[in-house]
Protein backbone atom coordinates (compact mmCIF):
# COMPACT_ATOMS: atom_id res chain seq x y z
CA UNK A 1 0.00 0.00 0.00
CA UNK A 2 1.03 3.62 -0.56
CA UNK A 3 2.07 5.61 2.51
CA UNK A 4 3.53 9.11 2.93
CA UNK A 5 6.84 9.39 4.77
CA UNK A 6 6.44 13.17 5.29
CA UNK A 7 2.67 13.77 5.27
CA UNK A 8 3.14 17.22 6.85
CA UNK A 9 4.48 18.42 3.49
CA UNK A 10 0.98 18.14 2.02
CA UNK A 11 0.08 21.22 4.08
CA UNK A 12 2.05 23.20 1.50
CA UNK A 13 -0.46 22.44 -1.27
CA UNK A 14 -2.51 25.64 -0.79
CA UNK A 15 0.71 27.68 -1.07
CA UNK A 16 1.68 25.78 -4.22
CA UNK A 17 -1.68 26.60 -5.78
CA UNK A 18 -1.42 30.30 -4.88
CA UNK A 19 2.19 31.16 -5.76
CA UNK A 20 1.95 31.02 -9.60
CA UNK A 21 -0.96 33.49 -9.57
CA UNK A 22 0.68 36.16 -7.44
CA UNK A 23 2.01 39.17 -9.32
CA UNK A 24 2.83 42.83 -9.21
CA UNK A 25 -0.34 43.91 -10.98
CA UNK A 26 -2.46 43.24 -14.04
CA UNK A 27 -0.68 42.20 -17.22
CA UNK A 28 -1.90 42.05 -20.81
CA UNK A 29 -2.04 38.59 -22.41
CA UNK A 30 0.13 39.60 -25.40
CA UNK A 31 3.92 39.33 -25.81
CA UNK A 32 4.30 42.47 -27.97
CA UNK A 33 2.59 45.60 -29.27
CA UNK A 34 2.16 43.93 -32.66
CA UNK A 35 0.36 41.01 -31.08
CA UNK A 36 -1.76 43.44 -29.09
CA UNK A 37 -2.78 45.20 -32.30
CA UNK A 38 -3.68 41.87 -33.89
CA UNK A 39 -5.95 41.05 -30.94
CA UNK A 40 -7.69 37.68 -30.42
CA UNK A 41 -6.06 34.47 -31.49
CA UNK A 42 -5.00 31.42 -29.45
CA UNK A 43 -2.68 33.47 -27.23
CA UNK A 44 -5.67 35.11 -25.60
CA UNK A 45 -7.24 31.77 -24.73
CA UNK A 46 -3.96 30.18 -23.62
CA UNK A 47 -2.81 33.12 -21.51
CA UNK A 48 -3.67 31.35 -18.17
CA UNK A 49 -1.68 28.27 -19.19
CA UNK A 50 1.72 29.21 -17.64
CA UNK A 51 0.35 29.82 -14.11
CA UNK A 52 -1.73 26.63 -14.39
CA UNK A 53 1.39 24.70 -15.36
CA UNK A 54 3.25 26.33 -12.48
CA UNK A 55 0.57 25.41 -9.96
CA UNK A 56 0.45 21.82 -11.19
CA UNK A 57 4.24 21.57 -11.13
CA UNK A 58 4.53 22.91 -7.60
CA UNK A 59 1.80 20.51 -6.42
CA UNK A 60 3.77 17.60 -7.86
CA UNK A 61 6.93 18.84 -6.11
CA UNK A 62 5.00 19.06 -2.82
CA UNK A 63 3.82 15.47 -3.34
CA UNK A 64 7.44 14.43 -4.00
CA UNK A 65 8.50 16.20 -0.78
CA UNK A 66 5.87 14.19 1.09
CA UNK A 67 7.71 11.06 -0.16
CA UNK A 68 5.12 8.54 -1.31
CA UNK A 69 6.33 5.01 -0.60
CA UNK A 70 5.12 1.55 -1.51
CA UNK A 71 5.13 -0.25 1.85
CA UNK A 72 4.77 -4.00 2.29
CA UNK A 73 4.33 -5.20 5.88
CA UNK A 74 4.66 -8.86 6.74
CA UNK A 75 3.79 -10.12 10.22
CA UNK A 76 5.51 -13.33 11.29
CA UNK A 77 4.34 -15.12 14.42
CA UNK A 78 7.53 -16.30 16.10
CA UNK A 79 5.74 -17.85 19.07
CA UNK A 80 2.14 -19.07 19.11
CA UNK A 81 -0.42 -17.41 21.31
CA UNK A 82 -3.37 -18.82 23.21
CA UNK A 83 -5.66 -21.48 21.76
CA UNK A 84 -9.28 -20.47 22.33
CA UNK A 85 -12.43 -22.47 21.63
CA UNK A 86 -15.63 -20.46 21.48
CA UNK A 87 -18.61 -22.61 22.49
CA UNK A 88 -21.94 -21.12 21.39
CA UNK A 89 -25.47 -22.17 22.29
CA UNK A 90 -27.70 -22.24 19.18
CA UNK A 91 -30.74 -23.94 20.73
CA UNK A 92 -34.28 -22.63 20.31
CA UNK A 93 -34.29 -20.36 23.35
CA UNK A 94 -31.55 -18.25 21.75
CA UNK A 95 -34.31 -16.89 19.49
CA UNK A 96 -35.68 -14.74 22.31
CA UNK A 97 -35.57 -11.05 21.34
CA UNK A 98 -34.63 -9.55 24.70
CA UNK A 99 -31.41 -7.76 23.64
CA UNK A 100 -30.88 -4.64 21.54
CA UNK A 101 -28.50 -3.46 18.82
CA UNK A 102 -28.63 0.15 17.61
CA UNK A 103 -31.84 0.64 19.56
CA UNK A 104 -33.65 -2.30 17.96
CA UNK A 105 -34.67 -5.57 19.56
CA UNK A 106 -32.60 -8.55 18.42
CA UNK A 107 -32.28 -12.20 19.34
CA UNK A 108 -29.83 -13.52 21.88
CA UNK A 109 -28.05 -15.43 19.12
CA UNK A 110 -27.67 -12.30 16.98
CA UNK A 111 -26.09 -10.22 19.72
CA UNK A 112 -23.91 -13.14 20.85
CA UNK A 113 -22.54 -13.60 17.32
CA UNK A 114 -21.73 -9.89 16.98
CA UNK A 115 -19.94 -9.65 20.32
CA UNK A 116 -18.02 -12.90 19.72
CA UNK A 117 -16.97 -11.72 16.25
CA UNK A 118 -15.55 -8.49 17.71
CA UNK A 119 -13.68 -10.49 20.35
CA UNK A 120 -12.15 -12.85 17.79
CA UNK A 121 -11.16 -10.06 15.41
CA UNK A 122 -9.35 -8.33 18.27
CA UNK A 123 -7.00 -11.29 18.83
CA UNK A 124 -5.13 -11.69 15.52
CA UNK A 125 -2.28 -13.77 16.94
CA UNK A 126 -4.31 -16.41 18.80
CA UNK A 127 -5.79 -19.51 17.23
CA UNK A 128 -9.55 -19.51 17.71
CA UNK A 129 -12.16 -22.14 16.87
CA UNK A 130 -15.93 -22.45 17.19
CA UNK A 131 -18.19 -25.19 18.53
CA UNK A 132 -21.99 -24.85 18.29
CA UNK A 133 -24.47 -26.86 20.29
CA UNK A 134 -28.12 -27.55 20.89
CA UNK A 135 -29.39 -31.14 21.09
CA UNK A 136 -26.00 -32.08 19.63
CA UNK A 137 -22.59 -30.44 19.50
CA UNK A 138 -20.08 -30.19 16.68
CA UNK A 139 -17.10 -28.15 15.52
CA UNK A 140 -18.15 -25.36 13.18
CA UNK A 141 -14.65 -23.90 12.77
CA UNK A 142 -11.41 -25.70 13.75
CA UNK A 143 -8.73 -23.66 15.50
CA UNK A 144 -7.42 -21.11 13.03
CA UNK A 145 -5.48 -17.87 12.72
CA UNK A 146 -7.71 -16.80 9.83
CA UNK A 147 -10.08 -14.49 11.69
CA UNK A 148 -11.76 -13.29 8.50
CA UNK A 149 -12.86 -16.84 7.71
CA UNK A 150 -13.92 -17.44 11.31
CA UNK A 151 -16.04 -14.29 11.45
CA UNK A 152 -17.56 -15.05 8.05
CA UNK A 153 -18.63 -18.56 9.09
CA UNK A 154 -19.84 -17.30 12.47
CA UNK A 155 -22.11 -14.79 10.73
CA UNK A 156 -23.79 -17.67 8.88
CA UNK A 157 -24.52 -19.74 12.01
CA UNK A 158 -28.29 -20.15 12.31
CA UNK A 159 -30.61 -20.94 15.14
CA UNK A 160 -31.13 -24.68 15.63
CA UNK A 161 -28.17 -25.70 13.48
CA UNK A 162 -27.34 -28.34 16.12
CA UNK A 163 -30.96 -28.99 17.16
CA UNK A 164 -33.50 -26.67 18.78
CA UNK A 165 -35.21 -28.63 21.54
CA UNK A 166 -32.42 -29.27 24.05
CA UNK A 167 -29.05 -28.06 25.32
CA UNK A 168 -26.08 -30.45 25.44
CA UNK A 169 -23.59 -28.31 27.37
CA UNK A 170 -21.44 -31.21 28.55
CA UNK A 171 -21.12 -32.67 25.05
CA UNK A 172 -20.17 -29.25 23.68
CA UNK A 173 -17.41 -28.94 26.27
CA UNK A 174 -16.16 -32.41 25.36
CA UNK A 175 -16.08 -31.61 21.63
CA UNK A 176 -14.19 -28.36 22.24
CA UNK A 177 -11.83 -30.10 24.66
CA UNK A 178 -10.98 -32.72 22.02
CA UNK A 179 -9.82 -29.90 19.75
CA UNK A 180 -7.53 -28.54 22.47
CA UNK A 181 -6.11 -31.59 24.21
CA UNK A 182 -3.37 -32.59 21.74
CA UNK A 183 -2.14 -29.09 20.96
CA UNK A 184 1.12 -27.73 22.31
CA UNK A 185 0.08 -24.21 23.27
CA UNK A 186 1.31 -22.15 26.23
CA UNK A 187 -2.29 -21.67 27.32
CA UNK A 188 -5.66 -23.12 26.34
CA UNK A 189 -9.06 -21.78 27.18
CA UNK A 190 -12.71 -22.11 26.35
CA UNK A 191 -15.49 -19.51 26.46
CA UNK A 192 -18.90 -21.14 26.85
CA UNK A 193 -22.01 -19.02 26.21
CA UNK A 194 -25.49 -20.32 26.96
CA UNK A 195 -28.93 -19.24 28.14
CA UNK A 196 -30.05 -22.64 29.40
CA UNK A 197 -29.22 -25.74 31.37
CA UNK A 198 -27.80 -29.10 30.38
CA UNK A 199 -30.67 -31.41 29.42
CA UNK A 200 -29.21 -33.54 26.63
CA UNK A 201 -26.08 -35.39 25.61
CA UNK A 202 -23.89 -38.14 27.03
CA UNK A 203 -21.45 -36.09 29.14
CA UNK A 204 -22.38 -34.03 32.18
CA UNK A 205 -20.94 -30.51 32.38
CA UNK A 206 -19.15 -31.20 35.68
CA UNK A 207 -17.54 -34.38 34.33
CA UNK A 208 -16.37 -32.42 31.32
CA UNK A 209 -15.04 -29.68 33.59
CA UNK A 210 -12.98 -32.19 35.59
CA UNK A 211 -11.49 -33.60 32.39
CA UNK A 212 -10.68 -30.14 31.07
CA UNK A 213 -9.00 -29.16 34.33
CA UNK A 214 -6.74 -32.20 33.96
CA UNK A 215 -5.85 -30.97 30.46
CA UNK A 216 -5.04 -27.49 31.76
CA UNK A 217 -7.97 -25.85 29.97
CA UNK A 218 -9.72 -22.88 31.57
CA UNK A 219 -13.44 -22.59 30.89
CA UNK A 220 -14.96 -19.12 31.16
CA UNK A 221 -18.75 -19.42 31.30
CA UNK A 222 -21.19 -16.73 30.22
CA UNK A 223 -24.89 -16.81 31.05
CA UNK A 224 -27.21 -14.66 28.96
CA UNK A 225 -30.92 -13.84 28.86
CA UNK A 226 -32.91 -11.19 30.69
CA UNK A 227 -35.16 -12.03 33.62
CA UNK A 228 -38.41 -13.25 32.09
CA UNK A 229 -36.92 -12.96 28.61
CA UNK A 230 -38.12 -15.18 25.80
CA UNK A 231 -41.44 -16.70 26.63
CA UNK A 232 -44.29 -17.37 24.25
CA UNK A 233 -43.72 -20.05 21.66
CA UNK A 234 -39.98 -19.72 22.04
CA UNK A 235 -40.29 -21.30 25.46
CA UNK A 236 -41.30 -24.55 23.74
CA UNK A 237 -37.94 -24.84 22.00
CA UNK A 238 -35.13 -25.18 24.46
CA UNK A 239 -36.21 -23.22 27.51
CA UNK A 240 -36.54 -19.61 28.58
CA UNK A 241 -34.31 -17.10 30.34
CA UNK A 242 -35.35 -18.49 33.72
CA UNK A 243 -33.92 -21.90 32.81
CA UNK A 244 -30.34 -20.63 33.01
CA UNK A 245 -28.41 -22.95 35.33
CA UNK A 246 -26.05 -20.47 36.93
CA UNK A 247 -24.94 -22.87 39.66
CA UNK A 248 -23.57 -25.32 37.10
CA UNK A 249 -21.91 -22.57 35.09
CA UNK A 250 -20.23 -21.26 38.23
CA UNK A 251 -19.09 -24.77 39.14
CA UNK A 252 -17.59 -25.28 35.66
CA UNK A 253 -15.64 -22.03 35.91
CA UNK A 254 -14.49 -22.70 39.47
CA UNK A 255 -13.36 -26.24 38.65
CA UNK A 256 -11.22 -25.04 35.74
CA UNK A 257 -9.87 -21.97 37.60
CA UNK A 258 -11.71 -19.48 35.42
CA UNK A 259 -14.74 -17.26 36.06
CA UNK A 260 -18.49 -17.10 35.48
CA UNK A 261 -20.17 -13.98 34.07
CA UNK A 262 -23.80 -12.98 33.82
CA UNK A 263 -24.78 -10.66 30.96
CA UNK A 264 -28.39 -9.50 30.82
CA UNK A 265 -27.86 -6.72 28.25
CA UNK A 266 -25.89 -6.11 25.10
CA UNK A 267 -23.50 -3.73 26.85
CA UNK A 268 -22.99 -6.18 29.70
CA UNK A 269 -22.13 -8.91 27.20
CA UNK A 270 -19.59 -6.66 25.48
CA UNK A 271 -18.04 -5.90 28.86
CA UNK A 272 -17.82 -9.61 29.67
CA UNK A 273 -15.78 -10.39 26.56
CA UNK A 274 -13.68 -7.25 27.08
CA UNK A 275 -12.91 -8.47 30.61
CA UNK A 276 -11.91 -11.92 29.38
CA UNK A 277 -9.77 -10.26 26.71
CA UNK A 278 -7.93 -8.33 29.45
CA UNK A 279 -7.60 -11.35 31.73
CA UNK A 280 -6.16 -13.58 29.01
CA UNK A 281 -3.55 -11.54 27.18
CA UNK A 282 -2.07 -13.18 24.09
CA UNK A 283 1.36 -14.75 24.60
CA UNK A 284 2.22 -14.61 20.90
CA UNK A 285 5.55 -13.10 19.84
CA UNK A 286 5.16 -11.31 16.54
CA UNK A 287 7.88 -9.86 14.33
CA UNK A 288 6.96 -7.37 11.65
CA UNK A 289 9.06 -7.03 8.50
CA UNK A 290 8.61 -3.79 6.56
CA UNK A 291 9.79 -3.48 2.93
CA UNK A 292 9.76 0.10 1.63
CA UNK A 293 10.16 1.29 -1.95
CA UNK A 294 10.43 5.03 -2.67
CA UNK A 295 7.89 6.30 -5.22
CA UNK A 296 8.58 10.06 -5.22
CA UNK A 297 10.73 10.08 -8.39
CA UNK A 298 7.87 10.34 -10.95
CA UNK A 299 6.30 13.16 -8.93
CA UNK A 300 9.61 15.03 -8.83
CA UNK A 301 10.27 14.53 -12.55
CA UNK A 302 6.72 15.58 -13.47
CA UNK A 303 6.91 18.69 -11.31
CA UNK A 304 10.22 19.82 -12.79
CA UNK A 305 8.94 19.15 -16.32
CA UNK A 306 5.82 21.27 -15.81
CA UNK A 307 7.80 24.11 -14.21
CA UNK A 308 10.25 24.02 -17.11
CA UNK A 309 7.39 24.13 -19.60
CA UNK A 310 5.87 27.08 -17.70
CA UNK A 311 9.16 28.96 -17.89
CA UNK A 312 9.59 28.22 -21.59
CA UNK A 313 6.08 29.29 -22.61
CA UNK A 314 6.02 32.24 -20.24
CA UNK A 315 9.18 33.70 -21.75
CA UNK A 316 8.41 32.97 -25.39
CA UNK A 317 5.09 32.41 -27.16
CA UNK A 318 2.88 33.16 -24.13
CA UNK A 319 4.99 36.00 -22.74
CA UNK A 320 2.77 38.80 -21.47
CA UNK A 321 3.17 42.58 -21.53
CA UNK A 322 3.72 44.18 -18.11
Q: Write down the domain spans for the chain.
A: 2-71+290-315, 81-283
Average pLDDT over residues 108-136: 94
| pLDDT number for residue 42 | 59
Out of 181-190, 208-217, 243-252, 307-316, pick the least confident. 307-316
Residue 192 DSSP SS3: strand
Whether residue 217 contacts residue 188, with contact meaning beta carbons closer than 8 Å, is answered with yes
Running DSSP on this structure, what letter comes out for residue 28? Answer: B
Residue 30's pLDDT band, with cuts at 50, 70 and 90, is: very low
More confident residue, 24 or 66: 66
CATH of domain 81-283: 3.40.50.410
CA distance 268 to 2: 40
C-alpha Rg value of the chain to the nearest Å: 33
pLDDT tens track for 54-88: 889 899 999 999 999 888 876 665 556 789 999 99
| pLDDT number for residue 196 | 93
Whether residue 80 contacts residue 186, with contact meaning beta carbons closer than 8 Å, is answered with yes
Strand partners for 194: 223
Q: Write a three-state SS string for 149-183.
A: HHHHHHHCCCCCCCCCCCCCHHHHHHHHHHHHCCC
Share above pLDDT 90 across residues of the chain, in percent, rounded to a whole number: 55
Tell whether the model's pLDDT for residue 258 goes beyond 60. Answer: yes
pLDDT tens track for 160-187: 999 999 999 999 999 999 999 877 777 8
| pLDDT number for residue 235 | 38
| pLDDT number for residue 241 | 40
| pLDDT number for residue 77 | 59
Amino acid sequence: MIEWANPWALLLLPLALWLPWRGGGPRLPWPSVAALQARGGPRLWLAPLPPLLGAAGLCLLVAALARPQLVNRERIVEHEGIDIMLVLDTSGSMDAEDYTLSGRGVTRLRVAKEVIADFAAGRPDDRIGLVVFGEEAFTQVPLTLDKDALVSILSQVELGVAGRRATAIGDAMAVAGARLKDLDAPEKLMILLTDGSNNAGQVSPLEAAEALRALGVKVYTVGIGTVGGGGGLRGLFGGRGGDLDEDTLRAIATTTKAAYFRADSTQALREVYATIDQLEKSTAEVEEHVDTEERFHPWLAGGLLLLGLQLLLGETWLRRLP
